Amino acid sequence: MPSVTRPGRRNAAHRETVTAKVADAVERLLLDGHGYTSIGVQRIAEEAGIARSSFYLNFPDKSALLIAIAESATADLFAAAGTWAQFGFTDLEMLERTITGILAQQREHAPLLAAVVELAAYDDEVAGFWRSRVGAFIELLAERIEEGQRSGTIERSLDPSTTAAWVTWGTERLIAQHVADRPESDDQLLANGLSRAIWSTLGRNPGG
């Protein structure tokens, strides 16, 4: 009986397979100490077990590859942060659990995320991706701060946009630095302290 799988679905499935192989290959190479800019396409293709031509069929260049991998690797991280902002904004314990989860995700993909930050300093495409990724959460957090101000649960003197950006970018940089310098055994201490610092910034009492 002939296959009824549509070409578009086959192509999408093939792309997902190639992307997964390449993503795993890149993360292995980064974990081995290779800098992202020093890893050639041929080396990535060999590590992934695909032809060089297959790489270029799926990714126009290494910037596009890094963006695709980072988008997938950070999906759970941003989803967890978004869930807290939307549904657990008045829950300190949920904030601490969210930060704990973000720490775990950062440790799992630390070399990859470090590569994103490094390339974002001089690659406009990567920089635009990361600013957009983080910026979407900043907008959501600013909206929730405004709602809290209207309801009287958040200090009205805070500027929502500035506060949201400071909390988000500050948290992103602090967690990255912590993962680079500190052992995993210190993660819970950071999650506890950071969640209460954010809580206090929003004008709330960590004990209440």
Residue 84, domain extent: 71-201
Within a domain: 206: no
| Residue 4 predicted with pLDDT over 60 | no
Report residue 7's pLDDT band, with 50, 70 and 90 as the boundaries. Answer: low
Residues 96, 18, single domain; the answer is no
DSSP annotation of 203 reads T
Determine the Cα–Cα distance for residues 78 and 84; give it in Å rounded to an integer: 10
State how many domains the chain has: 2
Within a domain: 152: yes
CATH number of the domain where residue 15 is located? 1.10.10
pTM metric for this prediction: 0.85
pLDDT of residue 17: 86
Residues 79, 182, single domain; the answer is yes
Within a domain: 129: yes
pLDDT tens sequence across 94-139: 999 999 999 999 999 999 999 999 999 999 999 999 999 999 999 9
How many Cβ atoms are within 10 Å of 90's Cβ, its own excluded? Answer: 12
**In the chain, at which residue ranges do the beta strands (DSSP E only) sit?**
none
List Cα–Cα distances, 125 to 23, 61, 131, 140, 157, in angstroms.
18, 11, 10, 23, 36
Within a domain: 194: yes
Tell me what the mean pLDDT of segment 162-181 comes to. Answer: 96
pLDDT of residue 161: 97
DSSP annotation of 90 reads T
Residues 38, 83, single domain; the answer is no
pLDDT tens sequence across 59-88: 999 999 999 999 999 999 999 999 999 988
pLDDT tens sequence across 17-33: 888 999 999 999 999 99
Report residue 143's pLDDT band, with 50, 70 and 90 as the boundaries. Answer: very high
Q: What percent of the chain has pLDDT over 70?
A: 93
